Amino acid sequence: NSQIKKQKMNNKNYKYIIDVDTGIDDALALILASKTLKEKVIGVTTCGGNVKLEDATLNTLKILDLAKWDIPVYVGASKSVENSEFVHAYDYHGTNGICDVQIETKHKPKNIAADDFIIEAAKKNQLAIVCLATPTNLANALKKNKGIAKNIKILYMMGGALNVPGNQTEY
């Protein structure tokens, strides 16, 4: 219990990266984060998953515009660590990944790959990473530079299923 309290106190200095595959669940999470973590987040990384990478990135930019949150977005992995295609959930998230809601954006993602952004951020900061998508971008960053692990102090993961079948795959 004292360890948990100590960890919470130290969270104040951590910089956050939010990793998303923006469908409707991550859209809501980004809106909430824009109100609660706004000053702590240094970037949002995108990954394929619930939707294709291109849709995840565009949806992320749209939702950030909607939330009036000017934060950089970095494009990540379009395939899994094993280089296989992600199983998408358009049947649940709608044809555009955000229930067919139309939102305009003029913003563009940064020209740095998500895994490279994670590496550079970890070299300069103590990080808390919030993986709402598959942790592929983080895995790719760690494959490129294992040394960054020492500065990743907290890892939050929105998981799938442990002892039951998953919602889109067996995981």
Q: How far apart are CA 3 and CA 1, in angstroms?
A: 5
Look at residue 80 and give its three-state secondary structure. coil
Between 111 and 84, where is the model more confident?
111
Q: State yes or no: pLDDT of 116 exceeds 80.
A: yes
| CB within 8 Å of 140: residues ≥ 6 apart | 76, 77, 81, 114, 115
Q: Please report, as a single letter, which amino acid is at residue 40.
A: K
Q: State yes or no: pLDDT of 16 exceeds 90.
A: yes
Between 4 and 82, where is the model more confident?
82
Q: How far apart are CA 73 and CA 104, in angstroms?
A: 16
What integer pLDDT is reported at residue 104 of this predicted model?
87
Look at residue 153 and give its three-state secondary structure. strand
What integer pLDDT is reported at residue 108 of this predicted model?
96
User: What average pLDDT does the segment 28-39 reach?
Assistant: 94
DSSP state of 17: E
CA neighbor of 62 nearest in space, from 36, 92, 18, 100: 100
Q: State yes or no: pLDDT of 84 exceeds 90.
A: no
CA neighbor of 89 nearest in space, from 56, 52, 50: 50
Residues 122 and 148 sit within 8 Å (Cβ to Cβ) = yes
What integer pLDDT is reported at residue 83 of this predicted model?
85
> Is the pTM value of this prediction over 0.85?
yes
Query: Mean pLDDT score of the chain, rounded to an integer?
Result: 88
Between 43 and 167, where is the model more confident?
43
